Amino acid sequence: MQNAFYNEIKTWMYRNARHVELCLWQYFFEDGDKKAVADALLSYQNEDGGFGHVLEPDNWNPNSTPASTDHALGLLRLAGFEDMEHPVYQGIWKYLEAEKDLADYGWRFTVESNDDYPHAPWWNYSEEMNRKEYLGMTASFAAFILKYGDPESPLYQKALTFTHAFLEMLTQDMSYGEMGLSGYMVLIDTIREISLGGYDGDALVKALGGKIKKAIGEDETIWEQYGVRPSNFINSPSSVFYEDNAEMVEKELQYLLDTKPKDGVWGITWTWFDNMAQYGDAFILSENWWKGSRAIMNTLFLRNFGKL
């Protein structure tokens, strides 16, 4: 994969990316060690085992939050690092078992201390927002607990209860929040992998697939603003959701090839909007950190579909 397009991205990453994203880049593209990703995450982990310290670049809260902890879990899942003896996982278990910021409906999307630090407006503390956006994060935690947790533990039983409720919700015509469908993907993949009793994995995939196809839609012009892209859900031709969305995948692949700036990486499609006046200086840094993260995902997407 040594062409000018790739080398421009690599050079930008080495000049700009944070250590944790650079470790992820090295793992995927330079035969790096996935353990290095876990080791890098320790710098963002608190004594209680949760994560903060701007691991999620839109939230500068140093305190542990469910969202930042789920972000860490997502990076570990992406790298395929599964050593539960590693301190990063020991901490995550400590955090989850303490049930910090766990409500009856699931883990809270926002927490009060967010408001004390620079952040995007969607991280403003709001119980209304929590009830809209808890699902994706809670589904991700539930999947982790069901896959690696002790079936006799109270935490496992709560994860099982959330799972039953969420899968019933999948049959409804409702809003699942910004990250809900991604959380369902992780949860359903885990259910199939561990053969959790009482569920028809193929039926769940079919139900989720219909909602994903609807979310992606057929209008690629919205991608410049924000918009849901196929790569939010489909990372390779082996994805069970690829066939139904193949045309839009091809459009995104071409879009990425056409829109990368020379000698740079792709920009992001959002700002901190109403919070820019107060936190604009912080956003400049966060924007660059996000660009590093997105560069990894976009380059992986292109590579997996044979475009690099």
DSSP string, 212-255: HHHHH-S-GGGGGT----GGGT--STT-TTTGGGHHHHHHHHHH
Closest alpha carbon to 210 in 236, 237, 173, 239: 173
Q: Provide the pLDDT for residue 2.
A: 57
Grade residue 149 by pLDDT with cuts at 50, 70 and 90. very high
Largest CA distance in the chain: 55
* Predicted confidence (pLDDT) per residue in 109-145, tens digit: 999 999 999 999 999 999 999 999 999 999 999 999 9
pLDDT value at 1 more than 70: no
Q: How far apart are CA 281 and CA 283, in angstroms?
A: 5
Average pLDDT of span 142-169? 98
Q: 68-119, pLDDT tens digit by residue?
A: 999 999 999 999 999 999 999 999 999 999 999 999 999 999 999 999 999 9
**Domain spans of the chain?**
1-32+238-308, 44-216
Instruction: Compute the distance between CA of residue 293 and CA of residue 289 in angstroms, rounded to an integer.
Output: 7
Long-range contacts: 231-238, Cβ < 8 Å, 24+?
231/297, 231/298, 231/301, 232/182, 233/181, 233/182, 233/185, 235/300, 235/301, 235/304, 236/304, 236/305, 237/304, 237/305
For residue 59, the SS3 value is: strand
Q: Residues 276-293, buried b or exposed e (16+ Cβ, 10 A)?
A: eeebeebbeebbbbbbbb
What tokens does 19 get? 């250590």
* Residue 34 reports pLDDT greater than 90: yes
* Residues 74/68, Cβ–Cβ less than 8 Å: no
Residues 201, 207: Cα–Cα separation, whole Å: 10
pLDDT grade for 211, boundaries at 50, 70 and 90:
very high
Q: Quickly count: other Cβ atoms within 10 Å of residue 45's Cβ.
A: 24
Identify the band that residue 226 occupies on the pLDDT scale cut at 50, 70 and 90. Answer: confident
Mean pLDDT of the region 273-286: 98
Residue 199 has pLDDT above 80, yes or no: yes
- Over the stretch 288-306, which tens digit does the pLDDT of each residue have? 999 999 999 999 999 999 9
Instruction: Say what the pTM is.
Output: 0.97
Q: Which helix (H) or strand (E) holds 185?
A: helix 180-194
Mean pLDDT of the chain: 97
- Average confidence (pLDDT) over 162-185: 96
Q: Do the beta carbons of residue 47 and residue 90 sit within 8 Å?
A: no
